[in-house]
Chain A
Amino acid sequence: MGSALPLGEPAPLDGLLPASAAEGAADRAFGVYVHVPFCRVRCGYCDFNTYTASELRGARQVDYADQAIDEIRMSRRVLAASGAPSRAAETVFFGGGTPTLLPADDLVRMLGAVRDEFGFAPGAEVTTEANPDSVGPEDLIRLAEGGFTRVSFGMQSAVPHVLAALDRTHDPARVPLVVRWARDAGLDVSLDLIYGTPGESLDDWRRSVDAVVAERPDHVSAYALIVEDGTKLARQIRRGELAQPDDDLEADMYELADTAFAEAGFEWYEVSNWANDAAHRSRHNLGYWRGDDWWGVGPGAHSHVGGVRWWNAKHPAAYAERLAAGHSPAVGREVLDAPTRETERVLLLTRIREGIDIASLHTGGRHAVAGLIADELVDAKAALAGGLTLTRRGRLLADAVVRRLLED
């Protein structure tokens, strides 16, 4: 996630949620996100909330698991005090940063705290992100034994000059290795790719896509590179040292990947995500798009429960201080009103294959559907059956589709 915190109202010190948050909670899935805000180096494109050793200002990686566990314990108390029913975690997702920079035992301990507080729903999906060069076979075995079911590798590219432009340090030859180790440990595997890196050609991209397909993962994510303000990459582009990513080339890359993935048996289920079958779709991420509830643990982590979005203190030191003082680490929040929740619902559900129920749209949105079909942005067959599913062209123009659906 991008690191700049939104503007909102201050969150209360005890973290208590307004009564509206608990309404209908029993019908929503519950997930836990655990943020691990550490990296060995900061990649030039990255504006995530993560810190290298020199940026930690006294916060220590070794203390982190205990702090996060504090918040996990607090989260259950806050949810209960706010009137939410007790729900088992359907999904847990460790992201970063680089979760695998922490010892596998730390990750397992944090996961254990989630299990202690909430319990796991049957077949719970438990994922960690991992860097190909910060994880070994023993780590993966330890994680699987500790309850993890899935690992998502930040592969990004199979082409050395592209990896170099992204400041990624791993050797592309290491990807097949880590995939095999993960398989051996019994974990599901997802691979992440980035396209549109300055200097990356369509042929470079094809090599990366082919490399992913050759690994036969269960799941693939492919993201167009976002040039975030304040990153080294943005500065390099502003100074003219690197080329601005080209939308048309990125569209070509998306189409190439979508075709190759489809041919290899991967079906898209969200704008940037493909899975080899419905069971391997990331249920945790689907929760974001379906408006489910999740608690985000860790510095700068965002949470959502029943139309209340809040976010934690961004710096690990500030985060630790608040917890040490017995306060909620949350610093800001938004309590969304009904129209805003509807905006988010349309914005998020439009992105996924199962789509939005056309009948649930307001009049203006329903009226927009015919035009969207005519413009080949929305699948006609699905629309006739009452659902709104983007065509490939529609996925590339998803934001425009959302704007049209939300027009008065």
Chain B
Amino acid sequence: MSPRAATPPVPAATDPALIRNFCIIAHIDHGKSTLADRMLGITGVVSDRDMRAQYLDRMDIERERGITIKSQAVRMPWQVGDTSYALNMIDTPGHVDFSYEVSRSLAACEGAILLVDAAQGIEAQTLANLYLALENDLEIIPVLNKIDLPAAEPEKYARELAELIGGSPDDVLKVSGKTGLGVEDLLDRVVERIPAPVGDANAPARAMIFDSVYDSYRGVVTYVRMVDGRLNPRERIQMLSTKANHEILEIGVSAPEPTPSKGLSVGEVGYLITGVKDVRQSKVGDTVTTAAKPATEALPGYTEPLPMVFSGLYPIDGSDYPELREALDKLKLSDASLVYEPETSVALGFGFRCGFLGLLHLEIITERLQREFGLDLIATAPSVIYEVTTEDRKTVTVTNPSEFPTGAKISEVREPMVRAAILAPKDYVGTIMELCQSRRGALLGMEYLGEDRVEIRYNMPLGEIVFDFFDQLKSKTAGYASLDYEPVGDQAADLVKVDILLQGEQVDAFSAIVHRDKAYAYGVLMTGRLRELIPRQQFEVPIQAAIGARIIARESIRAMRKDVLAKCYGGDISRKRKLLEKQKEGKKRMKMVGRVEVPQEAFIAALSGDVEKKDKK
């Protein structure tokens, strides 16, 4: 068998029977990018010299975290026997926050490589994506990676995989992306096992958008999988969801650099450029057709991305507010799921209320804002969407505790629920159940995966998960547990809004919607933190936690009694004056809550839980 195809099939003129579309399902760190790079090298589309570390992951953050946020697609030639095939490898995001994007990427494929670290076994997110792949009727090729590692246990994990997806442990391929061992066999297996795409070449064109990327030079690059018909350069196309028309300025395939072609035909995977500047005009999951002969029926599965988690983002230096707005406007061009609107906080000044797909999405956005735009930010505690019904039968959607109705009596609060799956070594079952129970989880079931690992499934409020759950889970299981969750509707719960008051004045950034049973604990935690962090004033400052008008926790900061320089003679005077000038500057950064002067750092530290004793001076 020749490792490299002698006469690669030409885009736009490839018989669908010679096309294989597949993706790689893997957990963070299980070596997906290394394997993908190795495939690019072996198939000859990237010369060894040009090979960058992990070619597919383009963003710095992705490379550093070893995760893929945005997917890309690469066309690779591969010859089996006398026949040259075109393999389209579609890279999928690896995290649960992006499950919609994952599902669209999977929908663009006929098969998936299930890649598992031979030293670690399968993880919760991989399982979740595996379920998605099976739902999409994808052909699964199980593969154990990193078999060159001394700690690898290929036999054990081959059995685990075979149990999961059926078949024999012998069917599990064993490769090393790092050394290249077994990768050629894997490419052969892709050709052999994954079905060729099927579509109607004569029907009106239908292509599914599985990714949409903003490029500052070229505008939006839209990645599509052709299902029916064909798309050509200069053709006018239509987005079925919006009926918006655009002209194709460029069409082609990634090999892996963008390579213009004469078009894309049934089963092919490639990109389109129309000159639009905002990814919202090219939505993942939407169907592309031609303006001249539009298809009537959209491809299934399209939904608008819905933010699940909300948080206020504030510049630590208030004068950075315009820069923050600009940065969000720029990020929005490449991230259709990011939503935001201006928000003002007594404690934090001017900022934005932002909606995210999940916690990782929040983290990625804040990190990009800090890294790519040089902004120093503070994020308020993440919140989810509550539906609050008052006794006068009005329902309010609350994404920010400040929107929680205060006037009328509350008759019901509904909160979003998720089904969480946690995968961990069996020794941690007790610890994990304790944690989930304390977060109002309801056990759904528990299953052994192989000999020593367990999958535990819970129904849990999303609001409990966004608040520090993952960190707790990791720390209580020495990092072994992995978590996946998916939305499963909502439930009514006894939720209350806890406000924090400084000398009777509410401090907005600290209000939280919590279960009634936890209101006291939250109140004690926050009042305690603020007592440590807020400097003493010239008067006593009560700090209270309240549900409505009822005080549930109380601390106080004793009045400062001494603030005077004892000695102020000849040479002390310049020094004292300079100190005074410095204090005056410092006061500009103080936030006033009523009469109480609070350094912004105190608010920030209280929000982040980074509590060190304040200087009592």
Residues of A within 8 A of B (CB): 1-2, 4, 6, 8, 33, 223-226, 247-248, 250-251, 254, 271-272, 285, 288-289, 294, 296, 300-304, 309, 311, 334, 340, 343-344, 347-348, 351, 375, 377, 393, 395-400, 402-403, 406
Residue of B nearest to A310 (CB): B574
Q: Offer 28 A-B interface pairs, CB within 8 angstroms, sorted by A.
A: A1-B571, A2-B571, A2-B575, A4-B575, A6-B575, A226-B566, A226-B567, A247-B617, A250-B562, A251-B561, A272-B566, A302-B570, A302-B571, A302-B573, A309-B573, A340-B577, A344-B573, A344-B577, A347-B573, A347-B580, A351-B568, A393-B561, A396-B561, A398-B564, A399-B563, A402-B580, A403-B580, A406-B580
The answer on a CB contact under 8 Å between B572 and A271 is no
User: Is B373 interfacial (CB-CB < 8 Å)?
Assistant: no
Residue of A nearest to B580 (CB): A347
A198 to B72, CA, bound (A): 67
User: Is B539 interfacial (CB-CB < 8 Å)?
Assistant: yes
The answer on a CB contact under 8 Å between A348 and B566 is no
Whole-angstrom distance between the Cβ of A233 and the nearest chain B Cβ: 15
Residue of B nearest to A255 (CB): B561
The answer on a CB contact under 8 Å between B575 and A247 is no
Which residues of chain B come closer than 8 Å to A344, judged between CB atoms? 573, 577
The answer on a CB contact under 8 Å between B570 and A403 is no
Known: A4-B575, A377-B538. 18 other contacts (CB 8 A): A224-B562, A247-B617, A248-B562, A288-B568, A288-B569, A301-B570, A304-B573, A311-B571, A340-B577, A343-B577, A347-B573, A347-B576, A347-B577, A348-B573, A396-B563, A397-B564, A398-B565, A406-B584
A351 to B574, CA, bound (A): 15
Whole-angstrom distance between the Cβ of A349 and the nearest chain B Cβ: 11
User: Is B6 interfacial (CB-CB < 8 Å)?
Assistant: no
Q: A224-B562, A400-B538, A400-B563 are in contact. Are A1 and B580 (CB under 8 A)?
A: no
The answer on a CB contact under 8 Å between A247 and B561 is yes
By Cβ-Cβ distance, the 8 closest A-B pairs, closest first, are A1-B571, A251-B561, A302-B571, A398-B564, A223-B566, A224-B566, A6-B574, A302-B570
Of B539, B567, B573, the residue contacting A272 (CB under 8 A) is B567
User: Is B179 interfacial (CB-CB < 8 Å)?
Assistant: no
Which residues of chain B come closer than 8 Å to A8, judged between CB atoms? 574
The answer on a CB contact under 8 Å between A397 and B560 is yes
Which residues of chain A come closer than 8 Å to B617, judged between CB atoms? 247
A247 to B564, CA, bound (A): 10
The answer on a CB contact under 8 Å between B572 and A1 is yes
User: Is B583 interfacial (CB-CB < 8 Å)?
Assistant: yes
Residue of B nearest to A375 (CB): B538
User: Is B578 interfacial (CB-CB < 8 Å)?
Assistant: yes
Which residues of chain B come closer than 8 Å to A403, judged between CB atoms? 580, 583-584, 587
Of B539, B561, B575, B578, the residue contacting A248 (CB under 8 A) is B561
The answer on a CB contact under 8 Å between A2 and B572 is yes
A397 to B537, CA, bound (A): 10
Q: A347-B580, A397-B561, A406-B584 are in contact. Are A288 and B566 (CB under 8 A)?
A: no
Contact with A along B530-574 (1 / 0, CB 8 A): 000000001100000000000000000010111111111111111
The answer on a CB contact under 8 Å between A397 and B571 is no
Whole-angstrom distance between the Cβ of A394 and the nearest chain B Cβ: 9
A2 to B576, CA, bound (A): 11
The answer on a CB contact under 8 Å between B571 and A399 is no
Which residues of chain A come closer than 8 Å to B65, judged between CB atoms? none
The answer on a CB contact under 8 Å between B566 and A304 is no
A4 to B572, CA, bound (A): 10
The answer on a CB contact under 8 Å between A397 and B562 is yes
Residue of A nearest to B567 (CB): A223
Which residues of chain B come closer than 8 Å to A393, judged between CB atoms? 561
A406 to B576, CA, bound (A): 14
User: Is B616 interfacial (CB-CB < 8 Å)?
Assistant: yes
Which residues of chain B come closer than 8 Å to A271, judged between CB atoms? 564, 566, 568
Which residues of chain B come closer than 8 Å to A289, judged between CB atoms? 568
A224 to B572, CA, bound (A): 15
Q: A396-B563, A397-B561, A400-B563 are in contact. Are A309 and B574 (CB under 8 A)?
A: yes
The answer on a CB contact under 8 Å between A285 and B577 is no
Whole-angstrom distance between the Cβ of B396 and the nearest chain A Cβ: 40
Q: A226-B566, A271-B566, A396-B562 are in contact. Are A334 and B574 (CB under 8 A)?
A: yes
A311 to B539, CA, bound (A): 39
Within 8 A of A (CB), among B569-617: 569-578, 580-581, 583-584, 587, 616-617
Which residues of chain B come closer than 8 Å to A247, judged between CB atoms? 560-562, 616-617
Within 8 A of A (CB), among B308-323: none
Which residues of chain B come closer than 8 Å to A304, judged between CB atoms? 570, 573
Whole-angstrom distance between the Cβ of B568 and the nearest chain A Cβ: 6
Contact with A along B351-363 (1 / 0, CB 8 A): 0000000000000
A254 to B560, CA, bound (A): 14
Residue of B nearest to A393 (CB): B561
Which residues of chain B come closer than 8 Å to A303, judged between CB atoms? 570
A7 to B354, CA, bound (A): 46
A187 to B572, CA, bound (A): 28
A340 to B561, CA, bound (A): 28
The answer on a CB contact under 8 Å between A251 and B566 is no
The answer on a CB contact under 8 Å between A302 and B538 is no
Which residues of chain A come closer than 8 Å to B565, judged between CB atoms? 226, 398-399
Residue of B nearest to A49 (CB): B571
